[in-house]
Structure 1
Amino acid sequence: MNRKIIRTTLSLMLILTLFCGMTTFAFAGSSYTAVPKNVAVVMDDKTENFAGYNVGGQNYFRLRDFAELLNGSEKQFNITYDNQYKAIQLWKGKAYTANGEQKQVKNLINKEARSISSKLLLDNKRIKFTAYSIEGESYFRFCDIMQIFDVYAAYDYSAEAILIDPKKDYTVQFQNTVESGYFDFLHGALLGNSDTGEILYSNNSDQKVSIASTSKLMTYLLIREAVKEKKISWDDEVVLSKTAEAYSLSEDGVVPMKAGQKVKLQDLVEAMLIVSSNESATALAEHLYGSEEKFTQRMNQRASELGLLSAEFYNPHGLPIYTPDVLSSKKQNRMSAKDLFELSRYIINHYPEVLAITEKVQLSEGSLNFTDENTNRLLFQMDGVDGLKTGTTNRAGCCLIATMPVKNGAAETRIIAIVLGAEDSTERAEKTGVLLQYGEEYYSQ
């Protein structure tokens, strides 16, 4: 690398390993066992004890303890409850009124933890971080709170405590994070410049791996090029097939569909990109080429034309394909992180209007009569993120291609971060977010 970010004493991202722990699945309303966990926190030479819990390998601490600790500082925040949305409301810059309870280290017993990730607001804006309610109290990870309120934190090994400096902003010491093995066990990771093609970081980026629903970017490209060539139109009414209906009724179904139903092509494209609708990808493929098979042939041909030599497509959506043999083979669309980067930047550079779709936090009903939130959690976690595509299968793991514009001196440039093979949606958002954060800091120097 030809530039260095500002060096700090220790990396905030090491806290992800030490105090956030291993990632785990967490769905709104899900119940887990919480095991007691206590840590020491130092701010302004004053030590506090945070009594928290380990849930599924990650450590969570009381939200009000964070609020009390930061109260009166530049990063202070208040906590209220929004009765209208039945959600926890966080307010930046507002003083927190403590309820008088002391932070005590206790020999706590295991408790039930219930996910509240769907019930969070920040200054009236919906955010999505994994958090838990334990006996009526809200618990968050250190790293998430530091990101939400833009606070610097580091782990002091000699003191065995987390140091917090509210006068500094959230940052990453990227080289230390990389050396800690943070990205090593992913199938692939990459950070690059969409405008120039410069690669800022990569790991296993040339390895051909399963890519799940990130495959839908190639499906979008073929549809967009066909619209440009006037072979089809955004206003086309697509007649749904029995195949599309079957996908919608399967365990991988996303949007309910009926054979013979007519849906606007634009709505199918948005459903495919925003909520990762597999049945929509199939309907689009059939509308353009008559069958998934013919469409897939064109996917591979177009990949070859673009020089994406690792690309290997079996369908337009990315779900596994099983052979009819007695000992069945399980085939999945495959590509390297490097080629996914090139595909993504080609689409963004030639058809930037795709971002007007992928930046939407929610799919509107439209002719599908369906609404749901975008599968890209970073849209709810980082300002500026406006795409691009998620993907998940058992073999591919959790994948994410994310992009955002960043300042580059007086100008602006765009970065793309790719994480393939994360354990779950929390890890893929977290690690892709770290790449984007580094990219933003890299170009700000």
Structure 2
Amino acid sequence: MKFKKSLLSLILIFSICFVGAGKTFAIFGIEKKTTASLIGDAKSGGLFVAENVDESLPVASISKLMTYYLVKEKIAEGKLKLEDKVKVSRNASREEGSSLNLKAGEQISIKDLLDGLMIVSGNDSAVALAEAVAESESNFVTMMNEKAKELGLENSTFTNASGLTKNGQDNKMSTRDIFTLSKAIIEKYPEVLEYAKTTVLEQPARNFKKESTIPLVGQVEGVDGLKTGHTDEAGYCLVSTMKIKKGDSEFRVISVLMGAKTKADRAQYMKDMLNYVKQNIETRKLVDAEKFTRRVEVKSANQGYIELVPKEDLERVSMKGINYDTEVTVDDVKLPLKKGDKVGEIKVKNSKEVIATVDLVAKEDYSKAGIVKRIGRFFKTVFEVVETILP
């Protein structure tokens, strides 16, 4: 017998120690001081606090994260090597703004260009790397937009490799897209975090020395990246990442803010955001495999029912005071079942979206009842119905 799909909603109740995620920014009013802001878990991708996260905004040098991603991808594919030398074009040497002081015709390694890109935010480095990867910056821009689609960056468009405003056009990304790209880079190329260890970039052979543009390293414990951005159109922007340790737990957050009015404001707002999340973050068990059991009546089963349990615990980094709902979905039951066979799902949801899913599986083996037992159950059901409707 088929068991029709059922949907049960349960509410996980937690003690509320702080206001919910939708109100957290009221603590320091950051939603009034920036164009967009976000804090999320670098592992699960879950967002703790967010403000205007899907509007496409000018991102300035935060664009260089995409440039970095594409160069690292070509290195991983064996199409480039860190030690490969690049001849700097006149086009690259003439790039305005923050610079690695590249000279037309000089030979420089991919490694040195990446250092210039990520540590001092060299616009000339971005163009030189784009030309090394795709022969021209315009070809590279095509790759940037293609990669954005591949990564699911729904509100991102690129017109150049550096993030400068050119011919009235800006590279644009939503804060959610910046978070997604940063998360992908940290997962795939965790060495990106090594750049934050260099406070002053020195390339003696080129007589180059300049301070790092990566802020808050050494000022806020655990901060080890990632990228600044600034143009008149974008304002002062920053994506930071921080490792947090609490007891035996360790987790990483990514925080993004856009459109601060000054460099000092940008640094202070990010400090406020990071310190807030550090004080109010915790690891919580949202689904306990030892305690959660769901009994479902299945008359064709030998026992007359089956018991379902989560395949595993679900632990999640979360902000204190946030409540979650769970939806339990049971599929059509087809006997026999073996212990561990998937029969449904537990979906954990916040107020807007599903944040995690755990398989619901058979607690033990279940077989079909014999014909005599099934006939007996059928007549028992008939008698119960008759008894109910007759006076």
When the two structures are superposed, what TM-score results if normalisation uses the length of structure 1?
0.58
Matching of residues 247-286 of structure 1 within 5 Å: 247=95, 250=96, 252-286=97-131
Counterpart CA distance in 2 for 1:374 and 1:195 is 27
Q: Give the distance between the partners of 2:81 and 2:159, measured in 1 at CA.
A: 25
Letter in 2 for 1:183: E
Q: For residues 436 and 191 of structure 1, what CA distance do their matches in structure 2 show? A: 8
Q: Which runs of 5+ in 2 are unaligned?
A: 1-12, 283-319, 321-391
Q: Assess, with a 3 A threshold, how the Cα gap between structure 1 residues 176 and 227 changes in structure 2: closer, same or farther.
A: closer
- Higher Rg: 2
**What does the per-residue CA deviation read over 1:16-70, in whole Å, with 9 as the maximum and x for residues that have no partner?**
xxxxxxxxxxxxxxxxxxxxxxxxxxxxxxxxxxxxxxxxxxxxxxxxxxxxxxx
What is the aligned residue count? 271
Instruction: Quote the residue 2:232 is aligned against.
Output: 394
Query: What corresponds to 2:186 in structure 1?
Result: 348
Paired position in structure 2 for 1:433 = 271
**Kept in 2: contact 1:314–1:333 (CA 8 A):** yes
Question: How many angstroms apart in 2 are the aligned matches of 1:358 and 1:181?
Answer: 28
Unpaired runs of 5+ residues, structure 1, are: 9-172, 323-329
**1:369 maps to 2:214:** no
Distance across 1 between alignment mates of 2:165 and 2:126: 14
Residues 270-301 of structure 1: CA deviation (Å, up to 9, x unaligned) = 11111110000000000111110000100000
Deviations 1:75-109 (CA, angstroms, capped at 9, x unpaired): xxxxxxxxxxxxxxxxxxxxxxxxxxxxxxxxxxx
Instruction: Indicate which of 307, 318, 333 corresponds to 2:171.
Output: 333
Superimposed CA distance per residue, residues 298-339 of structure 1 (whole angstroms, 9 cap, x where no aligned partner): 0000000111011100001000111xxxxxxx1100000001
Alpha-carbon separation, structure 1, partners of 2:218 and 2:25: 24
The corresponding residue for 2:262 is 424
* C-alpha contact (below 8 Å) 2:98/2:121 kept by paired residues: no
In structure 1, C-alpha distance between the alignment counterparts of 2:24 and 2:254, rounded to whole Å: 21
Superposed structure 1 runs of 4+ greater than 3 Å apart: 2-8, 173-177, 366-369
Are 2:216 and 2:267, in contact at CA under 8 Å, matched by a contact in 1?
yes
The aligned residue for residue 45 of structure 2 is 197
Q: Offset of 1:410 from its aligned partner? A: 1.2
The answer (yes or no) to whether the contact 1:409–1:443 under 8 Å persists in 2 is no
1:88-99 equivalent positions in 2, closer than 5 A? none
SS at match of 1:341: helix
CA distance in structure 1 between the partners assigned to 2:51 and 2:213 by the alignment: 24
Q: For the Cα contact (< 8 Å) 1:212–1:392, is it kept in 2?
A: yes
- Kindly provide the amino acid, as one letter, of the partner of residue 282 in structure 1: V
Distance of 2:98 and 2:41 partners within structure 1:
34
Among 133, 144, 157, the alignment partner of 1:288 is 133
Q: Distance in 1 between matches of 2:217 and 2:181?
A: 21
Q: Match for 1:433: what amino acid? A: K
**Residue matched to 1:233:** 81
- 1:306 matched residue in structure 2: 151
Q: Distance in 2 between matches of 1:210 and 1:342?
A: 16
Which residue matches 2:62? 214
CA deviation after TM superposition for structure 1 residue 174, in Å: 11
CA contact (8 A) 2:24 2:49 kept: no
CA distance in 1, matches of 2:173, 2:15: 31
| Deviation of the 1:363 alpha carbon | 1.2
Q: Which amino acid letter does the alignment assign opposite residue 350 of structure 1?
A: K
- 1:220-261 C-alpha deviation (Å, 9 max, x unpaired): 0000000000100000111100011111xx4x1422221110
Instruction: Say which SS state the counterpart of residue 257 (structure 1) adopts.
Output: coil
Q: Distance in 1 between matches of 2:244 and 2:50?
A: 19
CA distance in 1, matches of 2:94, 2:203: 21
Helix, strand or coil at the partner of 1:416? strand
CA distance in 1, matches of 2:274, 2:15: 15
Question: How far apart are the structure 1 equivalents of 2:98 and 2:215?
Answer: 20
Distance 1:368 1:194, change over 3 A: farther
SS in 1 for 2:117: helix
Letter in 1 for 2:221: D
- Shift in Å at residue 361 of structure 1? 1.8
Question: 1:348 corresponds to which letter in structure 2?
Answer: I
Following the alignment from structure 1 to structure 2, what is the Cα–Cα distance between the partners of residues 174 and 437? 18
Q: Is the 8 A contact 2:31 2:37 kept in 1?
A: yes
Q: Is the 8 A contact 1:300 1:313 kept in 2?
A: yes
RMSD between superposed Cα atoms in Å: 2.4
Q: Does the 8 Å contact 2:196/2:217 carry over to 1? A: no
| Greater RCO structure (CA 8 Å; 6+ sep) | 2
